[in-house]
Amino acid sequence: MSRQTLSRLNPPQRRTRSRVIPLEKVPSKRLWWVFFILCTGLVGLIGRMAWLQLVQTGDLESRARQLQTQKSQPLGQRRPIVDRNGRLVAMDEKRFRLWAHPRYFNFPGDELSHVRPADDVAKTLAPVLAVPADRLKAQLAGRQSGIKLKEGIDQETAASIRALGISGLDLEAYPQRIYPQGSLFANVVGFLNDERVPQAGLEQSRDGELLRYEQPRSLRMGADGTPLPDDLAPGVFFGDDLRLQLTLDSGLQELTVKALDAQVKKWKAKKGAAIVMDVTNGELLVLASTPTYDPNRFWSFSPGRFREWSVQDLYEPGSTFKPINLALALQEGVIQPADRVHDVGRLQIGGWPINNHDKRANGLIDFATVLQVSSNVGMVQAMRHLNDHLYWSWMKRLGIDRKPDTDLPGAVAGQLKTKEQFTTQPIEPATTAFGQGFSLTPLKLAQLHAVLANGGRLVSPHITRGFRSGHALAPAASPSGQQLLKPEVTRTVMSWMESVVDKGSGKGVKTPGYRIGGKTGTAQKALNGIYLPGAKICSFVAVLPVEKPRYVVLIVVDEPQGANAYGSTVAVPVAKQVIDGLLVVEKIPPSKPAELNKAAKS
């Protein structure tokens, strides 16, 4: 093999050398420039830090507080109202309005920049809101923000909406007043309108007291949402759990309303009212009227139903006032319990005729019989012995023309003739003797019969026991009242009223084993001083138990139709049902157990 061939096969290897870079001296000017730039940056950083720490501290701290602080404004909630046993009558429940902002619609898992079409949201929300999807689509069309989809959403539905996690939906909380008993206490409690402005009843008269104590909350929150304990305003966690407690009993009220409503419909009357009062302290267990309304749907009813007419409307009490008149005559000593009067059936007073309701003469009768037969002539004969000036003064002392001292909203004063009219016109004291010629409210009549029942004390009728915290219940009020009549006087009148139930027109409420007193009334109805032909008001008042009176029951029915409409036929049947319920609810022991046992066996 030639040398040339070998050289091609095995080329000579070259030696590799590393390149050596010679060191050069850096110019000092360049070093100074680098040093200057670094120092300038450091000074700038220090200056910026000083600016943030010293100059912008307040602004930055304020912005940080805004990010860390959760603020909430008061919702304007109201305190609950409960009956005497703690049963809810009015309460606030949290409700929600649902607002939609289509420009931000986004589902969990979507890209942050992705905007869902309104149709997707409508289909997802429809089953939760129980609203057709097409309706939601129509609401969402045309606007990109601030669309109110629905209000009145309950807390469970609101939680379901939150669980969907849809961006662009906003739930606004607000309180809504709820009346769990419906129409049962409507005329007493009243209601709030859509703007939460009280319109009637206790909601209006006790508005300031029913507003809960609330203040704006401003809490610092940690990164995980935990409230930080520093810088908290005093009372930020204070909870207002006060409740307004009524004296009314829901069970007895319901029984009374049903009985009263049925009788008003049966007799095609305009309206009816019922009152049950504790005569020892003035507490009302029942204050009912019909027709009424549902405060949860107040807009569906005539405004004329929003008032409690037993407190606000005047009427002439008629024969139910006769026991009170006899008590005044006994108090002044112008008649004695054993006296009698001559009932001739018809009198002429000052040129005006006065008749008994049945035009019959009853002859020589005692005062128990006067009440039993409801003799107008007998009452005029009895009250003739009482000086007219003194008679008028007693009517003033009874407060006929004064507004009762009560917490009942809208209570009004009665009407009484002037002293000059009463003392110069003989017909005025004569008609007053049988309960006409003046007017009062059913509430005032119940108060005056309580005077007869409790031994002569004028108690203040009321329906509230005040505010209590939590679930505690307030005790009943203590006996009170101004002494007007002698106890022996009232006991005598009570015995006469008992005879009305035993032998007279009040027989319909007679209950085996119990002593009950009462008086019926069938009065002509007057309008602007003129008696309306055929229009009358039928009523009945009862007191029980006679041996130790505790309760007054008053039933009043306005303008029942029919020739047989009287206090005994219209009002007494309602009173009977109310009394039977009262005996059970209040666990009233029988006056005559032997009679009760005998009736049970028969």
Q: Is the torsion defined by CA of 549, 551, 554, 555 positive or negative?
A: negative
- Please write the tens of the pLDDT for every residue from 491-503: 999 999 999 999 9
Query: What does the mean pLDDT of the chain come to?
Result: 88
Of 543, 545, 541, 542, the closest CA to residue 590 belongs to 545
Q: pLDDT class for 55, splitting at 50, 70, 90?
A: confident
18 alpha carbon, distance to own chain's centre:
103
Whether 48 has a pLDDT exceeding 90, the answer reads no
- Please write the tens of the pLDDT for every residue from 137-184: 888 887 888 888 888 899 999 999 999 999 989 998 888 899 999 999
Whether 335 has a pLDDT exceeding 90, the answer reads yes
Q: pLDDT higher for 568 or 231?
A: 568
Whether 390 has a pLDDT exceeding 80, the answer reads yes
Q: State the pLDDT at residue 232.
A: 56
Percent with pLDDT over 90 in the chain: 58
Q: pLDDT class for 54, splitting at 50, 70, 90?
A: confident
Q: pLDDT class for 569, splitting at 50, 70, 90?
A: very high
Cα(347)–Cα(384) distance, integer angstroms: 12
Whether 21 has a pLDDT exceeding 60, the answer reads yes
Nearest 5°: CA angle at 400, between 188 and 431?
120
The alpha helices in 481-571, defined as continuous H runs, are 487-503
- How many other β-carbons are positioned within 10 Å of the β-carbon of residue 149? 21
Q: State the pLDDT at residue 308.
A: 87
Q: What is the mean pLDDT of residues 508-515?
A: 94
Q: What is the mean pLDDT of residues 281-309?
A: 92
Q: State the pLDDT at residue 530.
A: 75
Of 456, 446, 410, 457, the closest CA to residue 539 belongs to 446
**CB of 578 closer than 8 Å to CB of 256:** yes
Whether 233 has a pLDDT exceeding 60, the answer reads no
Phi, psi of 543, deg, nearest 5: -130, 135
**CB of 571 closer than 8 Å to CB of 540:** yes
**CB of 163 closer than 8 Å to CB of 121:** no
Q: Is the torsion defined by CA of 344, 349, 354, 359 positive or negative?
A: positive
Residue with tokens 């309760």: 551
Minimum mean pLDDT range among 11-15, 139-143, 162-166, 266-270: 11-15
DSSP 426: T
DSSP 461: P
Burial per residue of 519-548, b for 16 or more beta-carbon CB atoms within 10 angstroms, e otherwise: bbbbbebbeeeeeeeebbbbbbbbbbbbee
- How many other β-carbons are positioned within 10 Å of the β-carbon of residue 159? 11
Nearest 5°: CA angle at 199, between 194 and 204?
120
Of 447, 439, 443, 183, the closest CA to residue 309 belongs to 443
Collect all residues with Cβ–Cβ distance below 8 Å to 568 and sequence separation of at least 6: 505, 506, 507, 508, 520, 540
End-to-end CA distance of the chain: 154
Q: How many CA atoms lie within 13 A of 67 on its CB side?
A: 8
Minimum mean pLDDT range among 204-218, 288-302, 384-398, 470-484: 204-218
Q: State the pLDDT at residue 563.
A: 86
| Domains 93-174 and 250-601 belong to one CATH topology | no
- Please write the tens of the pLDDT for every residue from 401-441: 999 899 998 899 999 999 999 999 999 999 999 999 999 99
* pTM across the whole model: 0.81
Q: pLDDT class for 369, splitting at 50, 70, 90?
A: very high
Q: Is 33 exposed, middle or buried (0-12, 13-18, 19+ CB in 10 A)?
A: exposed
Q: What is the mean pLDDT of residues 443-451?
A: 97
- What top-level class would CATH report for the domain 250-601? alpha beta
24 alpha carbon, distance to own chain's centre:
99
**CB of 248 closer than 8 Å to CB of 83:** yes
Residue with tokens 């007279």: 504
Whether 478 has a pLDDT exceeding 70, the answer reads yes
- The partner residues of 289 in beta bridges, in order of sequence, read 273
Fold adopted by 93-174: Penicillin-binding protein 2a (Domain 2) (3.90.1310)
User: How many helices (DSSP H) and strands (DSSP E) are in the chain?
Assistant: 21, 19
Whether 231 has a pLDDT exceeding 80, the answer reads no
- How many other β-carbons are positioned within 10 Å of the β-carbon of residue 201? 24
Q: State the pLDDT at residue 244.
A: 94
Residue positions annotated with a catalytic role? 319
Domain range summary for the chain, segments of one domain joined by +: 93-174, 250-601
Q: pLDDT higher for 472 or 230?
A: 472
Q: State the pLDDT at residue 74.
A: 61
Q: State the pLDDT at residue 285.
A: 97
Structure tokens at 122: 């409508």
DSSP 53: I
